[in-house]
Amino acid sequence: MTDRITILDKKFSVYIQAEQIQERVKQIAAELNESHSGKTPLFLAILNGSFIFASDLLKNITLGCEISFVKLASYIGTSSTGKITTMIGLSESLKGKDIIIIEDIIDTGRTMKNLLGILYDHSPLSITIVTLLFKKEALIENIIPDHVGFIVPDKFLVGYELDYNGMGRNLENIFVLDEK
Ligand code: IMP
Ligand code: MG
């Protein structure tokens, strides 16, 4: 397996191996099976970023559940703009439901804050935040994720669905941008 890769104009080195990711994803699924025991949650996977994580996670969920994919747009290049225009793809009613958000990464927290604002307008019973990665040092908004895969430094990452200008989502490891 390659430990160093080039995507477009940038070089990256492996940061979290696929096996570690898979192990952690199974642990998070076990936590959710426990915390939501007896409930029928609605998983909301946030596209594009969380399709691989959502797929791996949901294969290990034993609860009866609904799954929906929604899309937000907030990021261009290597810095977060924090701009959300809209949420598309929601066909289910959220009223009275236990929502579990599946997100790839929380950086400044702006995306999640905006998303929570939209979701609370739909009167769910509860909202649980699951994120694979959490850039704790970069957090600006007051967001506390309930389940975190890995706390990561404030560095640019690609792979396992994280992209650099649209590229790299299909890599099975997570890579970090090399320091100059
Ligand atoms: P936030 O609104 O600043 O929390 O940013 C969240 C979004 O920024 C994520 O859903 C990602 O799409 C994107 N993002 C943040 N950090 C990275 C990174 O290191 N690599 C790729 N995308 C990132
Ligand atoms: Mg995202």
Ligand 1 atom nearest residue 82's Cα: 2
For residue 83, give Cα distances in angstroms to 28, 150, 156.
29, 25, 19
Q: Give the Cα separation of 129 and 34 in Å (integer).
A: 15
Best mutation site among 46, 80, 84, 164 for ligand 1 pocket (most ligand atoms within 8 Å of CB): 80
Report the percentage of the chain scoring pLDDT > 70: 92
Q: What is the mean pLDDT of residues 149-167?
A: 97
What are the helix (H) ranges across 36-70?
51-58
Catalytic residue annotation:
107
Q: What is the mean pLDDT of the chain?
A: 92
Ligand nearest to the CA of 107: 1
Q: Give the Cα separation of 143 and 109 in Å (integer).
A: 6
Q: Which helix (H) or strand (E) holds 24?
A: helix 18-35
CB 58 within 8 A of CB 26: no
Residues with CB under 6 A from ligand 1: 49, 74-75, 80, 82, 104-112, 156-157, 162-163
Condensed to tens digits (0 to 9), the pLDDT of residues 66-121 reads 999 998 865 444 555 545 456 888 888 899 999 999 999 999 998 899 899 889 98
Condensed to tens digits (0 to 9), the pLDDT of residues 19-44 reads 999 999 999 999 999 999 999 999 99
Residues, CB within 5 angstroms of ligand 2 (ion): 49, 104
pTM of the entire structure?
A: 0.92
